[in-house]
Amino acid sequence: MANATELLPGSRTDRDGSAVVRVLGYNIRSMRDDTGALARVIAACAPDLVLVQEAPRFFRWRKKLARLAAASGLVVLTGGATAAGPAILCSLRATVERTEDVLLPLTPGLHRRGFATAVVRFAGARLGVLSCHLSLQDDERYAQGGLLLDRLAGMGVEHVIAGGDLNEQPGGRTFRRLAGELRDCREAAPWGGEHTSPSAGPRRRIDALFASPGVEVLGCGVPLDLPGVTEADLRAATDHLPVLAALRVPAA
């Protein structure tokens, strides 16, 4: 296991056309907390992609999400209210092929859920991306896990990543369903911290990043000791801790 004080590999493009990509998963609780701290944490992680959950969904939600992206050195790729909360931010290093926001079937009495999805390129590497926030209800969550896998399979891209707030720990059946077809990045290459919720005293790993088998996981975990990321900012930014991964994506 890499020491948490060591940097993950930085973003780069290799001579063979493969790309090392930094991916951050983060539940931002509708930006109801300290947005300055939130932007500092994101910027310090230097991500190429941010898979956001609980993006603003109501009054001026687009402007709020755009301000967060700009303060973090990123741009809004897709999602927000149009995906019922999930969103994707990206660096200017990404070339966007297409995006699609997907609303999932609504169970009466439960919160509407959705996926933010995109296909992007980093030099010669082509990558499908999905951000999700799964249900609090077990049966609905399990069904959403199946829809997530179907959506990834239908993107027509060899290499994919997915991540978000699963509302379930690794022993749960939905988590196991996803990990049965994708690689749990934290399990593949542990780095940094493990637990993501709550941010004030984390004791559960309910936020995760997954990658298809052809993607090499170089390291994944909560960036507790990453330079520029402070404990005060992590606690103030939102009620979840982020998950950061460095992935090597082969050339298409």
Instruction: List pLDDT tens digits, range 151-165.
Output: 999 999 999 999 999
What pLDDT does 7 receive?
58
What pLDDT does 6 receive?
57
Instruction: List pLDDT tens digits, range 70-98.
Output: 999 999 999 999 999 999 999 999 999 99
% helix, strand, coil for the chain, step of 5? 25, 35, 40
Instruction: List pLDDT tens digits, range 3-14.
Output: 455 558 989 999
Nearest C-alpha neighbor of 11 from the set 3, 2, 21: 21
Instruction: List pLDDT tens digits, range 62-75.
Output: 999 999 999 999 99
Q: Which domains does the chain have, with CATH numbers?
A: 17-249 (3.60.10.10)
C-alpha distances out from residue 216 to 36, 145, 232, 247, Å: 33, 22, 32, 6
Q: What is the mean pLDDT of residues 107-123?
A: 95
Asked if the model's pLDDT at residue 53 lies above 70, the reply is yes
What pLDDT does 74 receive?
98
Asked if the model's pLDDT at residue 132 lies above 90, the reply is yes
Percent of the chain with pLDDT over 90: 92
Nearest C-alpha neighbor of 80 from the set 114, 106, 111, 45: 114
Instruction: List pLDDT tens digits, range 211-221.
Output: 999 999 999 99
Query: What confidence tier does 1 reach under pLDDT thresholds 50, 70, 90?
Result: very low
Name the one residue in this structure whose structure tokens are 């829809």: 147
User: 3-state class of 110 per DSSP?
Assistant: coil
Name the one residue in this structure whose structure tokens are 């300055």: 36
What pLDDT does 121 receive?
97
C-alpha distances out from residue 55 to 80, 186, 196, Å: 5, 24, 18
Instruction: List pLDDT tens digits, range 177-214.
Output: 999 999 999 999 999 999 999 999 999 999 999 999 99
Encoding tokens for residue 176? Answer: 């196991």
Quickly count: other Cβ atoms within 10 Å of residue 145's Cβ: 24
Quickly count: other Cβ atoms within 10 Å of residue 213's Cβ: 9
